[in-house]
Amino acid sequence: MTIKIAVVGGGVAGLSAAYFLAKNGAEVNVFEQKYLLYGASGRNSGGLTAQFRNEALIKLALRSLELYNKLQSETGFNFLLRRDGYVKIANEEMANVLEEEVEIQRGAGVNVKIVDPDFVKSLFPDINVNAFSIASYFADGGVVFPWPVVWGLAKGCRELGVNVYDYTPVKVEVKGNEVVGVKANDELHKADYVINAAGAWSNEISRQAGIELNNKVFKEEICVTESLKPYLDPYILDVSTNVYISQSMRGEIVGGIVGSETTDINVKSSLDFLTNYAKRVVELVPKLRGMSILRQWAGVYDLEKDGLPVIGPTKVKGFIQLNGFGRNGMSTAPAAGEALAEYILKGRSKILESLI
């Protein structure tokens, strides 16, 4: 009998799960409340790294890096993937944080190393070496353009027979202690499993199934400058100031400040962000002073208190969590989607062992 799945949320998590479920024979519907890039998956900076402190997260990130190549060829979509490295920099105060996590990462098989400011300058000559004292360098990391990732996954899903409904908010329907499906526009779409991949809205979806999920919501603002000649290859994140920058293939400097917790889910931009970002980024890269900002925007994401994604079954039969990716969903969600599909269809997944 074919297994029927309803996925709530058309972001990288929901679409990845849908893709691998459909590829392995399930009948899948994906429901997105607005347009496909509305969630964090359409608003992020596309940095790909495995520089995490948790082994399970690291494994998901390493597998996701492999999957990006595979998914590009399987879906015939160019994600504008660049593997030019991911650099985390820190001041003296935070140096031990980087050193400690590099130990964990190397132990988990990540090709990462501690480097000095001059090494970072050799990668990006405009960086101010006095603005930090240490860095960790993951040569295999990089950047994707999030829009084609979402579009490509949606295309791949549709080609496998998945219905991807946009502008279709849904409510979870439960009978007794079991999901029956989701309701959209008063129509019940029956399903054996409902996957909660609703990102910042996951607490609400979970509540509909009668399950308390206490993911915290974070809002992050970001902007792009006018184009410069391509000269910044890696993604750079300053863990002391929370500022990050990379360069898009169009030459724009894409940058922002790592998000902070909010109780109000909105994607409004602010002047405050621009002022703070400009101050911090000019300290890091003095040559950016005077550059025009072309666009700014914001996104929201969810994070559980221990910082790990929430993946797997719940006490309501058929109601499955796939959320809490925080600021790492582009780096980790493709593999999480693949692993969850395996777990649902085969009853096990090695990579999820310590998370479920």
Ligand X SMILES: Cc1cc2nc3c(=O)[nH]c(=O)nc-3n(C[C@H](O)[C@H](O)[C@H](O)COP(=O)(O)OP(=O)(O)OC[C@H]3O[C@@H](n4cnc5c(N)ncnc54)[C@H](O)[C@@H]3O)c2cc1C
Applying the rule CB under 6 A, the residues between 241 and 300 that interact with ligand X are 256, 299
Exactly one of 29, 136, 215, 331 binds ligand X (CB under 6 A); that residue is 331
Query: In the bound complex, what is the minimum distance in angstroms from residue 103's beta carbon to ligand X?
Result: 22
Query: In the bound complex, what is the minimum distance in angstroms from residue 299's beta carbon to ligand X?
Result: 3
Closer residue to ligand X, CB minimum distance, 9 or 122: 9
Closer residue to ligand X, CB minimum distance, 32 or 338: 32
Q: Is 337 in the site for ligand X (CB under 6 A)?
A: no
User: Counting beta carbons within 10 angstroms of the beta carbon of residue 80, is it exposed (0 to 12), middle (13 to 18) or buried (19 or more)?
Assistant: middle
Q: Is 318 in the site for ligand X (CB under 6 A)?
A: no
Binding letters toward ligand X, positions 6-35, x by CB under 6 A = --xxxxxxx----------------xxxx-
Q: Is 301 in the site for ligand X (CB under 6 A)?
A: yes
Please tell me the count of residues contacting ligand X according to CB under 6 A: 42
DSSP single-letter state for residue 256: E
Closer residue to ligand X, CB minimum distance, 43 or 59: 43
Angle (CA) 324 327 329, round 5°: 65
**Calculated CA dihedral for residues 43, 45, 51, 53, nearest 10 degrees:** -30
Beta pairing partners, 225 = 293
Q: Is 86 in the site for ligand X (CB under 6 A)?
A: no
Closer residue to ligand X, CB minimum distance, 45 or 241: 45
Q: Is 65 in the site for ligand X (CB under 6 A)?
A: no
The three-class DSSP label of residue 227 is: strand
Q: Is 203 in the site for ligand X (CB under 6 A)?
A: no
Closer residue to ligand X, CB minimum distance, 41 or 240: 41
DSSP assignment string, 308-354: S-EEEE-SSBTEEEEE--GGGHHHHHHHHHHHHHHHHHHS--GGGTT
Binding letters toward ligand X, positions 154-193, x by CB under 6 A = ---------------xx-----------------------
DSSP assignment string, 140-207: T-EE--HHHHHHHHHHHHHHTT-EEESS---EEEEETTEEEEEEETTEEEE-SEEEE--GGGHHHHHH
Stretch that binds ligand X, among 65-73, 102-110, 117-125, 196-204 (CB under 6 A): 196-204
Q: Is 328 in the site for ligand X (CB under 6 A)?
A: yes
Comparing CA positions, the residue from 305, 272, 232, 192 lying closest to residue 45 is 232
Closer residue to ligand X, CB minimum distance, 44 or 349: 44
Exactly one of 40, 57, 81, 179 binds ligand X (CB under 6 A); that residue is 40
Exactly one of 75, 203, 241, 323 binds ligand X (CB under 6 A); that residue is 323
Q: Is 311 in the site for ligand X (CB under 6 A)?
A: no
Distance between CA atoms of residues 117 and 108, nearest Å: 25
Go through the chain and tell me how many residues it has. 356
Comparing CA positions, the residue from 350, 331, 333 lying closest to residue 140 is 331
User: Counting beta carbons within 10 angstroms of the beta carbon of residue 178, is it exposed (0 to 12), middle (13 to 18) or buried (19 or more)?
Assistant: exposed
Q: How many CA atoms lie within 13 A of 122 on its CB side?
A: 6
Which secondary structure element, helix H or strand E, spans residue 254, and what is its range?
strand 252-262
Q: Is 196 in the site for ligand X (CB under 6 A)?
A: no
Q: Which residues bind ligand X (CB under 6 A)?
A: 8-14, 31-34, 38-41, 43-47, 169-170, 197-201, 205, 220, 222, 256, 299, 301, 323, 325-331, 333
